[in-house]
Structure 1
């Protein structure tokens, strides 16, 4: 949208509690630059730096007046107190939620600390944010259906592709295959389910290298293998720089059937494509909703033997694997276009 549009003069304030990936994927790295170009003021305030909002006075008092507020996942109780007190002063509140936090709190397979933290948010923080919000923004219909009984306006916004190469990773040779798994520690159990298949494929294909972004939490059977690189967990922007500098032929996105997993977004499809690779995805939502099996990715059953079979299929067909990766990149550019976010947030400006 050009300068002089209705966006000119609008003000957005993102109150950050540290959910940087969510902030960037759904607003700060996608819509915010476009909104600024169109004349809006967009501010991100790291609330973790200020135990009390009063420490930001009087600047914050002026900034809140007429502002459109975005909150991602959580916010401290002190800052929620402020929003509740000043609710009539702000133009709108948009609550961005990219996971089922209630399901995370109940999932025994997730790390204890993460589960306890999500339990606190789901019990003490989320109900108050839902009460404040004009709308709740979620990445897919599955999560929307779970939130709708708790809020009158729940809308979907798919994740954005933050960057992409000009073309997919060049066709691999027998000695130069790169395979990657870039899930967080919260998905360690998903990786464990297929680790035996990965070890078998590594043993049978000496030119295959596997990168796992889980550091010391990488399953032992993989961590001890000499062709597995276990990257330590990284801060979000360091991770983004790593992704931009990495090239993969194949990416892994196992997602075993849990209530938490089935509400996930399809962000890993976008990340794998952004590294130039083609993905192997669990045969369930969200991936079964977007992957054309055998065309721009493979959908795999919940069986290590099927993961092994699908990996071998791709390794034995480098030309077709490259074609699939190129088609995946084209689809990622389409479904992950920032233009969708421009339109979404542009429609909401006051």
Structure 2
């Protein structure tokens, strides 16, 4: 059977830690792969977010199936979050109104990436929490030893689902690009997201990559400062620590909203740059870094230490061994 490539959620929450336990045509393994994002061990099934209808039907047609369903977005908050692009909101609604609800009706356990998701589950639903993990080690700080006035590349690693973040950043970027001629801003998108600022000579819109290509490219990026503003909506409150790991793997420290990042254990000036909720606060903080770029390497060192704690591959593997695989490998 031809199986499509998994979605990022499947890699981040299962395959990165347990991929070697999944059977392949050339090797045996305790885990059978039924679809891109569906796995089986005996009568236990792990369904990660979504899959094609034939695979979902096969799982649900087994009356003795013990289904574990994993979800990493707060689908109950979609209708109330005006910051989401309409196309993305439509896809989330489709998932919520179809596979998500069918899985909740049958799931013995729901695994989620945030307590904000489990709090919205139907009463009595058994649930557990899990964090994403990546394979790879952040590189040393060599590329971050900048002097004042040297080119400083900022980057936003979000996609179209972070539309509100780009709207927030636009006036702040306009302000800092006008004040510092060594600043550049990079982002990945198939279409312009920064209004007229996309025509600025130091704004670089990069071609989006497939998930596989992005994973390969991430450790080779050469940016100096990540920017990740998150508006305070119920949907965003459920976002996982994934972007924290991504920016560190990309080799740079990052700036986050203090209200979102501090609860995840990030410390301002040590493992991240934590800014206030206003455009002015972000612009001022960026300019402070421009004036003293030595902060970049020091904070990145803290981010690397934080990554080592957050990116718990062995812990995620033990989690799935306990509730799904149960082979002790």
Per the TM superposition, whether the score is higher than 0.5 is yes
Cα distance in 1, alignment partners of residues 21 and 33 from structure 2: 15
- Render the CA deviation track for 1:199-243: whole Å, top value 9, x for unaligned: 221222222221111231421233111111111322111121221
CA pair 114-128 structure 1, distance change in 2 beyond 3 A: same
SS at match of 1:326: helix
Shift of the alpha carbon at 1:341?
1.0
SS at match of 2:184: strand
2:130 maps to 157
1:284 maps to 259
TM-score for the superposition, normalised by structure 2: 0.87
Correspondence for 1:307 among 279, 282, 287? 282
SS at match of 1:108: coil
SS at match of 2:165: helix
Shift of the alpha carbon at 1:297?
0.7
Shift of the alpha carbon at 1:342?
1.6
SS at match of 1:216: coil
Instruction: Tell whether 2:9 aligns with 1:25.
Output: no
2:107 maps to 133
Bigger mean CA deviation after superposition, 264-273 or 26-35 = 26-35
Shift of the alpha carbon at 1:135?
1.3
Correspondence for 2:140 among 167, 176, 181? 167
1:230-241 equivalence runs, <5 A:
230-241=205-216
**Contact 2:22–2:33 (CA<8 Å) still a contact in 1?**
no
**Contact 2:71–2:110 (CA<8 Å) still a contact in 1?**
yes
SS at match of 1:41: coil
1:334 maps to 309
Cα distance in 2, alignment partners of residues 34 and 250 from structure 1: 37
1:72 maps to 48
Cα distance in 2, alignment partners of residues 16 and 310 from structure 1: 47
CA pair 115-272 structure 1, distance change in 2 beyond 3 A: same
SS at match of 2:72: coil
1:1-350 equivalence runs, <5 A:
20-33=7-20, 40-46=29-35, 66-88=42-64, 90=65, 92-147=66-121, 149-150=122-123, 152-168=125-141, 169-173=143-147, 174-285=149-260, 287-348=262-323, 349-350=325-326
Cα distance in 2, alignment partners of residues 64 and 308 from structure 1: 49
Cα distance in 2, alignment partners of residues 47 and 295 from structure 1: 39
CA pair 67-43 structure 1, distance change in 2 beyond 3 A: same
CA pair 67-178 structure 1, distance change in 2 beyond 3 A: farther
SS at match of 1:146: coil
Cα distance in 2, alignment partners of residues 314 and 286 from structure 1: 19
Shift of the alpha carbon at 1:45?
4.2
Shift of the alpha carbon at 1:166?
3.2
**Contact 2:253–2:271 (CA<8 Å) still a contact in 1?**
yes
Bigger mean CA deviation after superposition, 109-118 or 300-309 = 109-118
**Contact 2:68–2:110 (CA<8 Å) still a contact in 1?**
yes
Unaligned 5+ residue runs, structure 2?
A: none
